Structure 1
Amino acid sequence: MTRRFFIFLLIALSAAGFFICCFNSTAATAGNAPALTPAAIFDELARQSGNPAAFARMITDNPEAWYARWYILNEAKKSIDTTYFIVDKDVFGMSFLGLLLKKAKEGVKVRLMMDARGSKDLSHKMMGQDYLQELLEVPGVEVKVYNPLSDNFIKMFGNLRHVVSSNHDKIIIVDNDYVMTGGRNIEMNYFVDPADFSRAYIDSDVILKGAAAAHELQKAFDEEFNSHEVFKVKRDLFGNWKSRAQELEFARRAMEAYISGMGLLNGSAIDKDYEKYIKELAQYKNLQSYNGYKPFNGDHEYPFIMLDKHSMKGPRNDITPGIGAMIRSAKSEIIIQNPYIVLTDEAMSALREANARGVKINIHTNSPMSTDSTATQVFFSDEWAKIMKELPNLRLFVCPGPQPLHSKVFVFDREVAVIGSYNMDPLSEQINSEIVSVIKAKNFALRLALRIFEAEKKSIEYKIEVMKNGEIKVINGPVNHSDPEKLEKLRKLKKLGFLRPLI
């Protein structure tokens, strides 16, 4: 039985109220708890994967998230495979490329992929491929761009989803040992302390160590890297008109020195254009504690699985049915922290079933004042009260701003934790490529739940009252804390409701 078929079978059986004897489920008790549970679903999926286990740590602190990436990339001796939706041309993106270039020159095999839309400043031929081509000057390096617009210009007139379809994965695999995934891209907003930049993201990653973790994530990486939807970046016939190697190396050295507490380098002494990287770093006073950093210190091995999803251009989708099955089978509590709540029929159906059984549902998301996505807020601000009416057991919290929430995590029954790139919207469910790590451990899940509850203490709880005639009375909502101009903008944009399936 394949994993995908098994998940769909779980959904069908749990939705119909059947028991599956192979789990030795006891009879449903008070509250009509389902025979299946998220833990039982995890156990079966783990069994199919050989019951993998790995050392694992969640990382929510922004500077540490950068230190962890810098550490494992520096540790590479044999191979680095990495893919990101966004690699920016700021000091983080340039030093990231500089570190890949350094490791390639040391003989490390490097495979890099980025998304054409998310990383447009680097991936477009006429805008930034010089930096990527610089890596290709070193043997053993492959660079690919996912789903470039040039390959879909004609297709978009038949189906606009061909253009917006992206590789939304965030993956690093080093030496078949260290792996990292989660919500963060390679860009300043994800790694600086909010004390240094008020709009720094609130996000979550997971770092794992062990051959089993690398093996599972490697399959997800290879399927996308070797797909037909990628464009292989090639060296210019006569090389770059202007070499970018020195610039990338300077960005790397500047980053290494600064985060290690050694201060700022003098960029203008080499090239006046490099001073921009020094000016960037100088803003981040709380990014100087890397010296002596190690990502693992007394951490535990945990059972885990990876759930993968191709974009609409590929056949695999383990995530949507997997998370749907866990929502439907939750015994007592579902905690969701997600930046974009634009619920599809599938997601809403699963939540309704859980609510009908008395399962407590807790959602933490963005408000009009914190969001980085106006498009998703157009629909969320219009739909949140209706969602609460349909889900009486739901408690809904929103970030008040200015920090945007970008974390994509789920906690089921405080026993199964999910951390990855998957949003609660049509784009993730039906169009983009995504990846999540699922860990079954009560202490791990509890720590993740408590971190969400701490964030909710600084958030705003939306509340409604359903009147006897069925009408909704808003007790506390966007209008109570948001800028009227922003709300008016969202109201006007509701006319673009036909775009909801692409959001």
Structure 2
Amino acid sequence: MKKSISFLAICFIVAAFVFASGSPSLAQQKPSMAAVDVFDELNRQAGNPTALARLLTDNNESWYARWYVMGRAKKSIDVTYFIVEKDVFGMSMLGMLLKKAREGVKVRLMMDARGTKELTRTMLGQDYLQELIAVPNVEIHVYNPASANIISAIGNIRNLTGSNHDKIIIVDGEWFICGGRNISMNYFVDPSDEPTVYRDTDVIIKGKKAIAGIQRAFDEEFNSHMVFNVTRDFFGNWSSRAHELELARVAMQSYISGMGLPKAPAGSKYADVLARYTGELAKYKKMQSYSGYDPMNGVHEYPIVVLDKHSFKGKRNDITPAISAFMKTARKEVMVQNPYVVLTPEAMDALKAANANGVAINIHTNSPVSSDSLLTQAFFLEDWPNILKNLPNCKLYAFNTVRKLHSKTFVFDREITVIGTYNMDYVSEQINSEVVVAIKSRDFGQRTALRILNDEKESVEYKVKLNQDGTPQPLFGPESHSDPKKIDLLNKLRKLGFLRSLI
């Protein structure tokens, strides 16, 4: 695995200093450095950036925050997402970008080819993107299109599956949003309107001193050799799609502002298009309180660090060693909220080090009831008893609701919070590009930890006991509360172990 030495050298120094000795007495001692010391060094290397930061756990508010920053753009908007759906959220975002581009704002947009299939297909889905790139100050890239990598995938399947998993919006070199949410109704609709939507976490940041790290993360992927530049068709669109994007934007603005659903004039040729968008929005009763929204109301300024990771073909990986260092130097508690837990050797080693130091470990993840990934759950079904065996100080909770967990959040000693796109699996560690934001604040850390603990009220705790031979015997696990048919399917999928490092 390739790593960025210049930015994360301190993490290797910490790990080597604390854990190099094989002495049993040393292994039981607290590390001489704390997680907060690791953060301070990373922050120093980044130029000591601070910024206003707001935790975004509510789905509706997370959409309001995106709408707010894009709507106020005067100079530039940089956007990259793994998934952008062709629902009213994706289309209205494209409509907002088109509006801003026509106002003279520089727009750069990137979508992942694997995550965003409909909008990025060369012959079938790029009509809407053509409307944006018809404006001179717009640039659009597609990350790792399948058409360019089918042959190379024969030698290495990662050439086809490697993705840009980043989720970033940067506005005017002052605002940015980063976290787990893609652009789709599944991430922004209130669960009272649709019970199966995701539970996710983002952070919105305001502060010019904090932009350099996130801007670098965007630029390095946007300009990488794995992108395809969307160019204007020679004849453009035979039929303009700009009105569809504009109608989506207008409908979204009106509805979330509490002004109701717009109606098309009698005889309008676009009535059916507008009806499609208003039909979607009408189902989301809770999403009508945007008017007067201010994401920075009552927030505080904190030290922050942006940690980035390239896809497998790049050189940078600031995230994995930093997470490991935070775990190894935590003094009291490590909290991990993550949808996909398929622990790599490095992740397990870091958690074992925390456990050896007497640190309480709290892991919150999906169960077969809530997960959207059967293969991940299949391997988790195999792994979870040994996780508890190897980590006696660990409590393991699994969501027991139809709502799906998608939050990728870490809290160390209730003082260092990490929020972003990084999953606890092989794909995030070794294949995809990822980005996270680390924040130093006891107040922010405590609020994030309490939100995780609140999620655990809708969860079940998995437990084991150790047999005399040391093997773990489940007392309560996935089989105890999940559909037997799904468990049977997961047990069959466990045989596909060769896919463990690819999902």
TM-score by length of 2: 0.96
Which of 67, 74, 83 is matched with 1:70 structurally? 67
Superposition deviation, residue 31 in structure 1: 5.9
Alignment-derived partner of residue 198 in structure 1 = 195
Alignment-derived partner of residue 262 in structure 1 = 259
Contact kept? 2:54, 2:203, Cα under 8 Å: yes
Contact kept? 2:73, 2:105, Cα under 8 Å: yes
* Counterpart Cα distance in 2 of 1:444 and 1:201: 22
Alignment-derived partner of residue 451 in structure 2 = 451
Which of 16, 19, 24 is matched with 2:20 structurally? 16
Give 3-state SS (helix, strand or coil) of 1:181's partner. strand
Contact kept? 1:17, 1:34, Cα under 8 Å: no
* Counterpart Cα distance in 2 of 1:492 and 1:287: 41
Superposition deviation, residue 273 in structure 1: 3.5
Superposition deviation, residue 148 in structure 1: 0.7
Alignment-derived partner of residue 35 in structure 1 = 32
Contact kept? 2:340, 2:365, Cα under 8 Å: yes
* Counterpart Cα distance in 1 of 2:435 and 2:348: 21
Matches within 5 A, 1:380-399: 380-399=380-399
Alignment-derived partner of residue 280 in structure 2 = 280
Superposition deviation, residue 6 in structure 1: 3.0
Opposite residue 6 of structure 2, the aligned amino acid is T
- Provide, for residues 150-172 of structure 1, a one-character-per-residue CA deviation record: whole Å limited to 9, x for no partner: 12111111111111100000001
- Provide, for residues 15-64 of structure 1, a one-character-per-residue CA deviation record: whole Å limited to 9, x for no partner: 3159xxxxxxxxx9996110122111111111111100000011000000
Alignment-derived partner of residue 21 in structure 1 = none
Contact kept? 1:339, 1:365, Cα under 8 Å: yes
* Counterpart Cα distance in 2 of 1:460 and 1:221: 38
Alignment-derived partner of residue 50 in structure 2 = 53
Alignment-derived partner of residue 299 in structure 2 = 299
Matches within 5 A, 1:147-166: 147-166=144-163
* Counterpart Cα distance in 1 of 2:313 and 2:271: 44
Which of 109, 113, 118 is matched with 1:112 structurally? 109
Superposition deviation, residue 473 in structure 1: 2.1
* Counterpart Cα distance in 2 of 1:408 and 1:471: 30
Contact kept? 2:118, 2:125, Cα under 8 Å: yes
Residue 486 (structure 2) pairs with residue 501 (structure 1): no
Opposite residue 8 of structure 2, the aligned amino acid is R
Superposition deviation, residue 214 in structure 1: 1.8
Gaps of 5+ in 2: none
Q: 1:74 to 1:17 in 2, by over 3 A?
A: farther
Q: Percent identity?
A: 59
Contact kept? 1:94, 1:251, Cα under 8 Å: yes
Superposition deviation, residue 119 in structure 1: 0.6
Superposition deviation, residue 5 in structure 1: 2.9
Alignment-derived partner of residue 361 in structure 1 = 361
Alignment-derived partner of residue 329 in structure 2 = 329
TM-score by length of 1: 0.96
- Provide, for residues 383-418 of structure 1, a one-character-per-residue CA deviation record: whole Å limited to 9, x for no partner: 101111111111000100200000000000111000
Alignment-derived partner of residue 5 in structure 1 = 9
- Provide, for residues 312-332 of structure 1, a one-character-per-residue CA deviation record: whole Å limited to 9, x for no partner: 011000000110111111111
Gaps of 5+ in 1: 19-27
Alignment-derived partner of residue 22 in structure 1 = none
Contact kept? 2:21, 2:27, Cα under 8 Å: no
Contact kept? 2:257, 2:291, Cα under 8 Å: yes
Give 3-state SS (helix, strand or coil) of 1:495's partner. coil
* Counterpart Cα distance in 2 of 1:120 and 1:17: 50
Contact kept? 2:399, 2:405, Cα under 8 Å: yes
Matches within 5 A, 1:342-357: 342-357=342-357
Contact kept? 2:375, 2:494, Cα under 8 Å: no
Alignment-derived partner of residue 24 in structure 1 = none
- Superposed CA RMSD in Å reads 1.5
